[in-house]
Chains A and B, each alone.
Chain A
Amino acid sequence: MSSNVVVIGGGAAGLAAALKASEEKCDVTLIERDSDVGGVLNQCIHNGFGLDYFKKNLTGPEFKEKLKEKVLSKSNIKIKSGAFVHSVEKDKNIVFIDRNGVNNLKCDSLVITTGAKERPFTSLGISGKRLSGIYSAGLAQKFINMMNLRPGNSALIVGSGDIGLIMARRLTLEGVKVEGVIEIMPYPGGLQRNIKLCLEDFSIPLYLSRAVKYVDGDRRVNKIITTKVDDKFNHIGGDDITFNVDTLVSSVGLVPNVKPFEFLEHSAGFSTTNKNRTSENWIFSAGNSTVVFDLVDYVAQEGEKAGYMAALQAKNDLSPAGKIKLLPGKNIGILYPSYIEKDYESKIYLRARQPMEKGVLLIPELGIEKEFEDIKPSEMIKIKVPAFDKNTDRIEVNLNELK
């Protein structure tokens, strides 16, 4: 078996990549481990998807259906679902497992769009017994929205990221009593929109600077003891709150899925250039496997670009330009991409380390200086940079607070 371009993972990024590579007249094979494509979109039944990409306010599943329909209309895209990629070999051989057993697929170029997985609650190292009734928010979301399973009767949500907030509303509407959301940071992790729509609408309290101290119960959770923390996350005594609930839903962040492709350069996610190229010239990556994006629109746009570049690579039309390191400077938490190939434009995405009323983004090497208002770590800042000619081996990005 062979295919010009192989795409691993059929979420928004993978679907968009397959579509673009097929428009460049490449034969494409898309490999997805689930029975259907769409990835996390399938379980995100709320709206707020596609405003940029489709110019419409869609739900997650609608976004997927629209992309999938386009992909299905292309005769040069083959979808292999229920197929799990086991490994990628350096001689451009992809090994995947499906109901027929172990298969080998040769390609000219590869796009990895394996998304992100949830950080488990156990990774927080909180004391307590091994109890049932502890779920990650994404799993609880899948249970309720897709599988018709109810995780419990009453819940505390740990972590105020968007998935946690959205689950607070979902659980409430499904009749599960949500006693509150606790957040270790002094500010919420999710979008203001979700604080309003998912918590305030239902009078669900949000406790900031608060952490879980102990989870108690007999086989099943029945009590969660929480404590106030200081700005270094040390527990402060005297202000404990006990929640008598049978379910703990944790929403403590997503981590890019780099397994089983760790031979590629990565930090949290794959390190890529503005052409979505990884440390191997013929392998590209986009979407949540590179950095966790807020909006599917960005993911799909990056996916398209990765598919386009992979197609050029397959046709030997992509020059191997030198790459310049993009470095996070002052107040920058997350910065994407990791490198810039200067003969092509870039869209730089970043997150601030802390909220600011006003700040200025400075990229001295490129002469960029731009002001932003109402900066929040939960909302990515993006900025376009044209191709340039200057000789430099590093570009530093800084965010200075303006008072």
Chain B
Amino acid sequence: MSLNEEKITCLNCPAGCRITVISDGEKIISFKGNNCPKGEKFVNDEMINPKRYILTSVYVNNGTMPLVSVKSTDTIPKDKIISLMEEIKKIKINAPVKVGDIIKENIYENINLVATRSIGLKGE
């Protein structure tokens, strides 16, 4: 049985661990170089179904700013992101918004879209 060795940069956080993955062609045998367990999950996802966060902004009515930044509460399969972005672009919410507020529930399976900043009411 021949073993494959591959180096993958973990994209979970800016630490960017260089993970050495050893596999027998079908399944992964060992991981080396990741500083946290998220690295293993990342590599597993990356090989089968790569996932990413959605990080964008949505419209706010009557706010001190016209947009509020938002994120998905977990990673979403990469190939679903472009079509989800189309839906997210249609969302309009009313000010005020507080960081952590759910902007839209279950945008993908049980993953929500939440505000990542607070926006006050215009004129306050």
Q: Contact residues of A with B, CB < 8 Å?
A: 35-36, 42, 45-48, 51, 57-62, 64-65, 144-148, 173, 191-193, 196-197, 201, 294-295, 374
Contacts of A201 in B (CB 8 A): 52, 78
Tell me, in angstroms, the Cα distance from A57 to B66 when the chains sit together. Answer: 26
Q: How far is the CA of A35 from the CA of B71 in the complex (A)?
A: 24
Quick check: is B65 within 8 A (CB to CB) of the other chain? yes
A146 and B16 form a contact (CB under 8 A) = no
The answer to whether A147 touches B117, judged by C-beta atoms less than 8 angstroms apart, is no
List B residues 44-103 near A (Cβ within 8 Å).
52-53, 55-57, 59, 64-67, 69-71, 78, 81-82, 85, 99
**Contact yes or no, B71 A65, CB < 8 A:** no
Question: Sorted from nearest, which 8 A-B pairs have the closest CB atoms?
Answer: A61-B117, A45-B69, A65-B99, A59-B116, A148-B66, A48-B14, A61-B116, A193-B16
B23 within 8 A of A: no
A residues near B13, Cβ cutoff 8 Å:
47-48, 51, 57
Q: Interface 1/0s, chain B 1-39, versus A by CB < 8 A?
A: 000000001011111101000000000000000000000
Give the chain B neighbours of A62 by CB distance below 8 A.
Answer: 99, 116-117
Complex contact B16–A145 (CB within 8 A) = no
B112 located at the interface, meaning its Cβ lies under 8 Å from any Cβ of chain A in the complex: no
Select B16's contact among A35, A144, A191, beta carbons within 8 Å.
Answer: A191
Apart from A42-B117, A197-B11, what are 9 other A-B pairs with CB-CB below 8 Å? A45-B56, A45-B71, A61-B69, A61-B117, A65-B118, A173-B82, A192-B9, A192-B16, A193-B9
Which of A47, A64, A145, A294 is close to B57, meaning CB atoms less than 8 Å apart? A145
A197 touches B14 (CB 8 A): no
Q: Are B69 and A145 in contact (CB under 8 A)?
A: yes
CB neighbours (8 Å) of A57 from chain B are 12-13
CB neighbours (8 Å) of A35 from chain B are 64
A65 in complex: contacting residue of B15, B81, B117, CB < 8 Å: B117
Given A42-B117, A59-B69, is A47 in contact with B16 using a C-beta cutoff of 8 Å? no
- The answer for the CA separation of A65 and B88 in the assembled complex, in Å, is 23
Interface residue ranges, B against A (CB under 8 Å): 9, 11-16, 18, 52-53, 55-57, 59, 64-67, 69-71, 78, 81-82, 85, 99, 116-118
> A173, B85: Cβ atoms under 8 Å?
yes
Task: Please give the distance in Å from A27's CB to the nearest CB on chain B.
Answer: 26
Contacts of A48 in B (CB 8 A): 13-14
User: What residue in chain A is nearest B14 (Cβ atoms)?
Assistant: A48
Q: How far apart are the CA atoms of A46 and B52 in the complex, in Å? A: 11
Which residues from B are CB-within-8-Å of A65? 99, 116-118
Q: Are B67 and A146 in contact (CB under 8 A)?
A: yes
Q: Is the CB of B11 within 8 A of A193?
A: yes
Closest to A170 in B: B56
Task: Name the A residues within 8 Å of B66 (CB-CB).
Answer: 146-148
Docked complex Cα distance between A234 and B120 (Å): 52
Known: A42-B117, A45-B56, A65-B117. A295 touches B14 (CB 8 A): yes
Q: Please state if A196 and B9 are interface contacts (CB–CB under 8 Å).
A: yes
A146 to B56, CA, bound (A): 10
